[in-house]
Structure formats: structure tokens, C-alpha cells
Structure 1
């Protein structure tokens, strides 16, 4: 164990105190209005970016931005190996930026962008693209690979699968999370949205998930998944229950993270657990905002998150 791992572990455990936790998120969900919930958030651990008067969308982005800031701080205190691990696990934020860029190129109203800092991999290059075809070409020349098309939907699905594949290779401790998440992405695209995968994306899905990832009906798709991915959709009757499968995915990550952070020695495992807990908290808080927007009258929906 090097001094870098020890210092990074201390910083990571300190960041874990910057969470609302399950009970705090539930109290937030019970707020009488979205404005009340946002005001509460602005005075708490997410107050770095959340401000009173923000819309729900702005507050959700601010929650994610605060989490990204914590990850940037965390990466800065790690040895080189740990910084790389955080960068791989933070790919969601770069995906979000590129999808918003794709929306702008498609003439749609884009959302806010994240300041990636050293957690970026290809954002600076991709951000220079000036048309959907140029965006596709830019992504193809990076580890994010060819999305098949430059539309926001195609880019989102392709980058999600590339991210899962890269995490599986670089952070094997999170391999089953990545595979299960990839299965959810493909299932949502093919069966909930009724859209087939672009040809280069379908090839990657087959490589990662199994031969039925790009064809077949629901049952064939699920039973044909590799064991590392099938758990995320086990006992899910059909695409109408994908939201339950997503909750199951987060619950699995939460259980695993609890074990990881309990490791007595600092290192990759403990760091992975910290990153997971920060992501889980942001997910719960963003869900709580949606429930609060309904006047706190849908707490049973929030409790389904586990």
C-alpha cells in the first residue's frame, strides 16, 4: 500500500460524508414542492451547484455537477492508477456532454454541459465537430468508437455501450455492473423504444452481451445474454418492467459498494466503492426531486428505489 492510496482513501471517506444518504433523500422526496426541495438542497452538501430558484432540470444538472466536482477532487488525490480508475468510471459525464452537443447540432435545445477537467478523454476534440456527420467521424477516431449515426439517440446508445466495454476491461472489479448496465441500455433501445441498434453498435453489443443482443424477441434476448449481464434482467417479464430492472441494478451496485468500502486496506476496491456511493446518492437525490415536484405524494414510488 502506497502513501498515495492512503491519502486518497482518507479523502474519499471524507467525501462520503457529503451525501444525503437514503433517509436524507427520502426526506427530500417528502418535500411539499420542488421549490422547497431545491431550497433544502441548496443549503446542504449539494449547495456547491444547487441554487434556490432553479428549475427541476437545472437542479438535477447541478446535483450531477456537484458529484462530478467531488470525483475530480477524488481523482486528484489518488495515485496514477486510482486517477485512471476514476476517469473510467466518470464516463457518464462525457457522454452527457456529447449528447447535448449532438442535440445542438440537430437543431434542438441543448442542456447544460459539465466541466470535465482532467476526467475528460475526448471531449475537447469532439466538441469541435460542426455537423452530425462530423460528430460521428470525431467519435469514430476516439475510444468512443463509431456510433453509426450522429443523432443524439444513436450517440447516447453507442457511447453507453463503449463506456461499459471500457469499464469492463479497465475496472474488472466493476465488470458485472458494466455488463448489466449494457444489457439495460440495449433492452431499452430495442424493446421499449422499438429502435434497432446501428450496425457498428450492434456488433459491439453482440461481442459484449451475446449473439442475441441485436436480434430475437424479448425471451431470446434475455436468456441469450452472457451470465455477467443476465442478472440485470432476470425475472423481468418484459420491457414494461425495465424501470424495476434499473432499480435492481442500482441496488446491486449499492450492496457491492458497501462491501468494497468496508475493505480494511486502501486501494482500488475501496476507491471503487466510494465512487459508486457518490453516484448512488446523486441518483437518489435526482429521483427525490422528481417526487417532490409531485408534492411528496408519490413516496411509494421513491421507496421502490431501495
Structure 2
């Protein structure tokens, strides 16, 4: 399955194209050609890249035992959260793209998709494995999904626990420190279970970094100013790449190799999307792409 990636070299080549149209022509000849077609816009092809990744994870689900399916359901829940966020936009009168197709790996999406109002969506979430977000505003629901998913990953997929902890640290850095907005109460409680209440209460990057547990501290290493957070977010993907590569190489046939394979597919999708952004801006290497590719 990991051979279905475009890889670092392929992403650099993709980014070298002088236009997104030229990049899409090449990408359509790759494994992403299942959903990528010449003529798609940048946003359409980026969405298609993630759709292909979701399809690959669903294929994996057909090969693994029941325990493995449980792991995959937790890992792919990030796309269910994205579907819910898009559904909130749809309920507000927007026209987001079609939902990611999760099949049997969905946690509660078929029920959530049928809701016709934000209060109804909150009730459906509360009755599902996601739990009550504590409010019905888009921010309350979105942050609850992100933080409670991190909590679930730490508990159910320990191989990915450091990634979830690092992601939560970055979320707090951006939402609380950079934007100066306290997390909604339910999201705050979920984040506290992942990185500790002191970290969630921090109001500066040094304070946050000092309060983080060891498994999350790496995410903010060397980040002293809020405007450098984008580097930390790119470095998060680099850490996932390195850890996942080690899992695939050394975990044998256990769940570790499964977690590693899914993570490598996700990293590749991130790189491809970044490379397409570079091509859309005229092509050539950029610091952001170099950070992970």
C-alpha cells in the first residue's frame, strides 16, 4: 500500500511545473489518477487527493482483522470531522464539496449527515461516540471534534499518541496564544486530558512549551514567536513521516505497521497538496515544501 505514494521526489517534480494545470496532467497519470482528472481546479484536485487516500484506507480495512479495522476507524475519523465541518457550512447556506466517502469506517457520519440544523447536529453528536460538543456554534463543534479525536487517538492508538499530543499543542498555540481566544469548555477539557490543564491555560508560547508533557513538547521546540507556528506545523508532518517510516520498517506485521502505513499515505497526500499549491503559484521549490519533502 505504501508503494502507492508519489514520494518526495515526485512531489518536488510536481511542484516544479509552471502551472497547476500542468501539474494535474502529471498527477492524473499517477496512483492519484483514480480521482484526479485534467481540467480540475486546484481545490478540486486537492480534495481528490484526499479522496484517494480515504479509498486506500478503506481498501486496507478489507485486509486486516477486526482490531485493525478499529484502529483505522479512529485514524480516518479526522475526515469525518472534516465532513462535519463542511456540513456546518452547508447548514449555514454554503456550498461545500461532496463529503469524503468513509464507508464502513465512519463513526457516525450517516446519522450526522441527515441533520438539518446546528442544534440537531449537536444532538446527533451527543448521541454518538463523538459525544456532546457543549454548544452548537461552528467553533464549539469543530474544536470539540479536533480535541476529542486527539484524546481518542491517545487512548486507542498509542503508536500515534505523540502525533495527537503534538497536534493538540499546536492547536492551543494557534487558538489560545496566537488568537487570544479561550477554548470552549468541552474542548478545553478534552485538550486537558491530552496535554494537561496547565498547557491549555497558557497564554504565551514559552509558558505553553514549559507546561507541555514530554510527548507533546517536541511540537513547539524552537518556536519562540507566534509567526513561526507555520514552521512547527510543517515540522509536525516531518515528525509523522519519520515515525511512520520507522513503524513500517520495524513493526513486523502488527498494528504498528498498519498505523505507519496509514500515516505515510496521509503524509504523501499533504505533500502532494503542498506541491500543487507551489505549481499554482508558478512552480519552483519553496521553504514550506522543502520542510517536509
Separation in 1 of the partners of 2:160 and 2:201? 26
Which of the two has greater helix per residue? 2
Separation in 2 of the partners of 1:20 and 1:270? 19
> Aligned pair in 2 of structure 1 residues 264, 224: CA closer, same or farther (>3 Å)?
closer
> Aligned pair in 2 of structure 1 residues 239, 264: CA closer, same or farther (>3 Å)?
closer
1:71 is aligned to 2:51: no
> Paired residue for 1:287?
274
Instruction: Extract unaligned runs of 5+ from structure 2.
Output: none
Confirm or deny: 8 A CA contact 2:241 2:264 kept in the other structure: yes
> Paired residue for 1:158?
144
1:170 is aligned to 2:156: yes
* Cα displacement (A) at 1:220: 1.8
Confirm or deny: 8 A CA contact 1:100 1:152 kept in the other structure: no
* Cα displacement (A) at 1:273: 1.1
1:98 is aligned to 2:84: yes
Query: Which segment drifts farther, 177-186 or 48-57?
Result: 177-186
Q: TM-score, normalised by structure 1?
A: 0.91
Pick from 225, 245, 249 the counterpart of residue 258 of structure 1.
Answer: 245
Instruction: Extract unaligned runs of 5+ from structure 1.
Output: 1-14
> Paired residue for 2:194?
208
Separation in 2 of the partners of 1:194 and 1:108? 27
1:61 is aligned to 2:12: no
Partner deviation per Cα, 1:159-180 (whole Å, 9 max, x = no partner): 1111111111111111111111
Separation in 2 of the partners of 1:206 and 1:26? 38
Separation in 1 of the partners of 2:171 and 2:10? 29
> Paired residue for 1:229?
216
> Paired residue for 1:242?
229
Structure 1 residue matching 2:3: 3-state secondary structure: coil
Q: TM-score, normalised by structure 2?
A: 0.95
The count of aligned residue pairs is 292
* Cα displacement (A) at 1:298: 4.7
